[in-house]
């Protein structure tokens, strides 16, 4: 290595080390005090195997011996999840446990969480049904479970949400953000989502923390269920900031529905690219009028001239399946 480069590197290292001594928050370091993201991702996979055992079971075991591999998997989840919860309990403002009591509290939370797995399975069964019934491109339900990013994101949310309800905060966020990185679908674990939830395509969907979604709701790509404003910052913590979506609502691509007082009534249809900040009554159909398109000619004798594009008017029936193009 050239002498000048070696000196430069040494100088850069010294400058960086000096900045570590300035008591910045980001300098906080502890070998064992932070949650392990790799372990949590492993936990997601293990929990999916428990929920969808028929699809992700160990092929080396026969059906008659199913209890043994499930028991082994359950023990693995209990061990790893208890350790991770004990670490993140200290992040909760209401954590009053002594250090020596954290493991006992974490084990109790883990066992309470695992008791919710039958409920999660019940919800996931309805989600798979909603995906299949809602997408004519799906040839079978296996395809949905193995291939659909929306199903992956919803299943991870279902697991994270139950942990969130038990007062665990950081681990559920890591879980749903992992799903977000894989699928482009951002569902906060604090959101409340009913049965038969269907996400189509999925990329770019955002569902905020205090969102409440009923049953049989369909959401398409690019939809935002968000806050009207976050200028209040931490002063808004714990307050309703996101909309309520009642049963059997369909929200098409690119729609934004914002605000904690905004309620989309049962059976409403929200068209693509709409921007909604106030409540919509039950059964309403909301759409944006066609924008006028123009073609700018870039070559030939008409170069530079702009021509309007006219569309033939067509009366659309209320049940016209092409009213909202996806």
For the segment 119-130, what is each residue's pLDDT rounded down to a tens digit? 999 999 999 999
Note the pTM of the prediction, 2 decimals. 0.82
In 3-state terms, what secondary structure has residue 21?
coil
pLDDT tens digits for range 265-304: 999 999 999 999 999 999 999 998 766 666 666 665 565 5
CB atoms within 10 A of CB 286: 16
**Which of 232, 220, 34 is CA-nearest to residue 134?**
220
Q: Do the beta carbons of residue 81 and residue 110 sit within 8 Å? A: yes
Domain residue spans in the chain? 31-185, 191-289
Distance CA 134, CA 125 (A): 14
- CATH fold of 31-185 reads 1.10.3130
Check if the beta carbon of residue 216 is closer than 8 Å to that of residue 130: yes
Q: What pLDDT sits at residue 267?
A: 97
Report the C-alpha gap between 233 and 255 in whole angstroms.
24
Residue 232 vs residue 261, higher pLDDT: 261
CA–CA separation, 285 and 218 (whole Å): 14
C-alpha 224: how far from chain center: 12
Q: With contact defined as beta carbons under 8 Å apart, do 170 and 89 qualify?
A: no
Q: pLDDT tens across 4-44, in order?
A: 888 888 888 888 888 877 777 777 665 457 889 999 999 99
Alpha-carbon span 139 to 156, nearest angstrom: 23
Name the architecture of domain 191-289.
Answer: 3 Solenoid (2.160)
How far is it, in rounded angstroms, from Cα 161 to Cα 300?
60
- Contacts by 274-278 with C-beta closer than 8 Å and gap 24+? 277/228
Do the strands 275-276 and 256-258 form a parallel or antiparallel pair, or are they unpaired? Answer: parallel
């Amino acid at each position: 290595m050239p002498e000048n480069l070696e000196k430069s590197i040494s100088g850069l290292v010294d400058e960086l080390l000096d900045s570590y001594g300035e008591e910045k928050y980001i300098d906080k370091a502890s070998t064992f005090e932070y949650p392990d993201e790799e372990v949590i991702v492993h936990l997601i996979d293990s929990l999916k195997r428990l929920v969808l055992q028929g699809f992700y079971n160990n092929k080396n075991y026969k059906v008659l011996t199913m209890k043994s591999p499930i028991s082994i998997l359950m023990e693995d989840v209990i061990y790893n999840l208890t350790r991770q919860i004990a670490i993140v309990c200290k992040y909760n403002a209401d954590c009053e446990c002594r250090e020596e009591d954290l493991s006992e509290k974490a084990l109790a939370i883990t066992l309470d969480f695992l008791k919710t797995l039958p409920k999660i399975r019940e919800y996931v069964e309805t989600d798979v049904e909603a995906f299949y019934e809602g997408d004519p491109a799906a040839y079978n339900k296996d395809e949905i479970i193995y291939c659909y990013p929306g199903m992956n994101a919803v299943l991870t949310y279902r697991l994270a949400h139950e942990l969130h309800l038990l007062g665990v905060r950081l681990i559920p966020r890591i879980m749903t953000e992992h799903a977000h990185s894989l699928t482009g679908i951002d569902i906060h674990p604090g959101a409340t989502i009913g049965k038969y939830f269907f996400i189509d395509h999925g990329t770019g969907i955002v569902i905020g923390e205090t969102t409440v979604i009923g049953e049989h709701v369909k959401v398409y790509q690019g939809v935002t269920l968000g806050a009207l404003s976050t200028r209040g910052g931490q002063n808004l913590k714990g307050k309703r900031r996101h909309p309520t979506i009642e049963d059997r609502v369909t929200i098409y691509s690119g729609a934004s529905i914002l605000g904690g007082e905004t309620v989309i009534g049962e059976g409403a249809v929200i068209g693509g690219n709409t921007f909604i900040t106030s409540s919509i009554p039950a059964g309403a159909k909301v759409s944006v009028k066609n924008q006028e398109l123009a073609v700018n000619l870039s070559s030939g004798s008409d170069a530079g001239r702009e021509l309007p594009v006219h569309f033939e008017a067509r009366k659309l029936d209320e049940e016209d399946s092409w009213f909202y193009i996806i």
